[in-house]
Amino acid sequence: MAGGWSKFGERYTRPTGALELMQDLGVAMDGEHATLLLGGGNPGSIPDVQAIFKRRLAEIAASDESFERLVGRYAHPNGERRFRRLLAELLAGEYGWKLTADNIVLTAGSQAGFFLLFNLLAGEFSDGSRRRILLPITPEYIGYTDVGLEEDHFVAQLPDIRELPDNFFKYRVNFDDLTVTDDIAALCISRPTNPTGNVITDTELGKLDRMAREAGVPLIVDSAYGLPFPRIIFTEATPLWNDNVILCMSLSKLGLPGVRTGIIIAREEIIVALTRMTAVLSLAVGSVGPVLLEKFLASGEIISMSQKLITPFYRRKALAACELLQAELDGIPYKLHTPEGAFFLWLWLPGLPIRSAELYERLKDSGVLVISGHHFFPGVTESWRHRDECLRISYAQDDDIVKKGIGILAAEIKRSFAE
């Protein structure tokens, strides 16, 4: 372009972790390159779940009314009303939350929802002040990193590390150093956490909820992997919502990333603002996800499907991946974050002689895609060697791919330590 891009263009076309990850994923998925995909956040293929969705699609195709709503009409900019009403009823029934369809807005995937939400709440204000999103614990989701319209959209804190038996460890929120200063617009955590598989405890969550309320700012809880669906969570955890919590959900990890449906549950003022933003940005959000799923919300099958099919699928894969990695890395100074949810192993290699970004490149050359840990510290300005000693490894793909990938990964790690 002769005159270059606009500032907006420059901001959103520069290389980012999210772009690298999605491009790697796209190349691996096109089938032309023999790449073992242990990188992206693509969910696994669960045949029984896919069969349920396929049947439902056929049912919709056979019904004029459903088909019309699926593809033939713009929805309201806050998303399909029937889906929102059924979801509100389901959540009220399951958890006793006092909410209605008016507390729910749908977005074009939760990534797009975070773009709207983070820029609605934080950034530059008309009085010239600036507010930022506080991430009380990192590592945290790579996708938050570059969504801010301006630099420095996030301020974040490093975790405490609790060492556990058998080379496991768990990150905890460092409450001793956590303060919600006046320039904070909201707190945000993912639970289960992408990339670590951490599920911050009910006590930690309760404390963050109180701190946010006392500071008069919302607590955003990203439940893309959590409760009540898709329930990729292997520990006891109680979900939280109240009028100060903004709960973000997604249909992606049910096995439906292609429908691009995100869900934001919040007090009405926030829902109205997000609805207005959607109308400008995209008129309406897609109806395919909502119409596909509404029947399972009405029957509650979305919960039983998550409990009976999705949780056990990922629990088994988590265990298998841990065992493989533990066997392969015997003799190497490694630690694994205890896998409590989502579908990643977070591997920490204390004393790794090269940076994890270099290890990522070497692995890519060897045909294995993982993600370098350094991407997962949005808003952290302190230097910390730990950031460059970690990898995120997805175990969502088919068992033979995970097995082969972990074998190559372990060999490359051993080579790096031997240099």
Ligand X SMILES: Cc1ncc(COP(=O)(O)O)c(C=O)c1O
The alpha-carbon radius of gyration of the chain (Å, integer) is 21
Contact 222, 141 (CB under 8 A): yes
Select 217 or 248, whichever has its Cβ closest to ligand X. 248
DSSP 60-112: HHT-HHHHHHHHSSPPPTT--HHHHHHHHHHHHHHH-----GGGEEEESSHHH
Select 111 or 275, whichever has its Cβ closest to ligand X. 111
Q: 418: burial class by Cβ within 10 Å (0-12, 13-18, 19+)?
A: exposed
Select 77 or 416, whichever has its Cβ closest to ligand X. 77
Q: Interface with ligand X includes 278 (CB under 6 A)?
A: no
Question: Within 40-69, which residues bind ligand X (CB under 6 A)?
Answer: 41
**Identified binder of ligand X from the candidate list 262, 290, 373, 378, rule CB under 6 A:** 262
Determine the longest span between alpha carbons in the chain, in angstroms.
65
Binding mask 195-224 for ligand X (x = CB under 6 A): ---------------------------x-x
Q: Interface with ligand X includes 78 (CB under 6 A)?
A: no
Contact 371, 392 (CB under 8 A): yes
Could you tell me which stretch among 47-55, 107-115, 174-182, 282-290 binds ligand X (CB under 6 A)?
A: 107-115
Contact 196, 346 (CB under 8 A): yes
Half-sphere exposure of 194 (CA within 13 A, CB side): 25
b/e burial code for range 332-369 (CB count within 10 A of at least 16 → b): bebbbbbbbbbbbbbbbbeebebbbeebbeebeeeebb
**Tokens standing for residue 249:** 């959900």
Q: Interface with ligand X includes 286 (CB under 6 A)?
A: no
Q: Interface with ligand X includes 252 (CB under 6 A)?
A: yes
Select 225 or 360, whichever has its Cβ closest to ligand X. 225
Distance in Å, CB of 285 to ligand X, minimum: 12
Q: Interface with ligand X includes 230 (CB under 6 A)?
A: no
Question: Within 142-171, which residues bind ligand X (CB under 6 A)?
Answer: 143
Cis peptide leading into residue 228 (ω within 30°): yes
**Identified binder of ligand X from the candidate list 123, 257, 300, 407, rule CB under 6 A:** 257
Q: Interface with ligand X includes 17 (CB under 6 A)?
A: no
Give dist(CA 3, CA 85) in Å, integer.
48
Select 257 or 300, whichever has its Cβ closest to ligand X. 257
Contact 373, 387 (CB under 8 A): yes
**Identified binder of ligand X from the candidate list 66, 196, 250, 356, rule CB under 6 A:** 250
Dihedral sign, Cα of residue 86, residue 89, residue 91, residue 94 = negative
| Interface size with ligand X, residues (CB under 6 A) | 14
**Identified binder of ligand X from the candidate list 141, 229, 343, 346, rule CB under 6 A:** 141
Distance in Å, CB of 260 to ligand X, minimum: 7
Q: Interface with ligand X includes 394 (CB under 6 A)?
A: no
Task: Give φ, ψ of 10 to 5 degrees.
Answer: -60, -45
Q: Interface with ligand X includes 300 (CB under 6 A)?
A: no
Q: Interface with ligand X includes 99 (CB under 6 A)?
A: no
Could you tell me which stretch among 104-112, 178-186, 316-324, 405-413 binds ligand X (CB under 6 A)?
A: 104-112
Binding mask 109-128 for ligand X (x = CB under 6 A): xxx-----------------
Give dist(CA 16, CA 36) in Å, integer.
22
Distance in Å, CB of 224 to ligand X, minimum: 4
Q: Interface with ligand X includes 378 (CB under 6 A)?
A: no
Could you identify the residue written with the tokens 């302190």?
A: 382
| Interface ranges with ligand X (CB under 6 A) | 41, 109-111, 141, 143, 190, 194, 222, 224, 250, 252, 257, 262
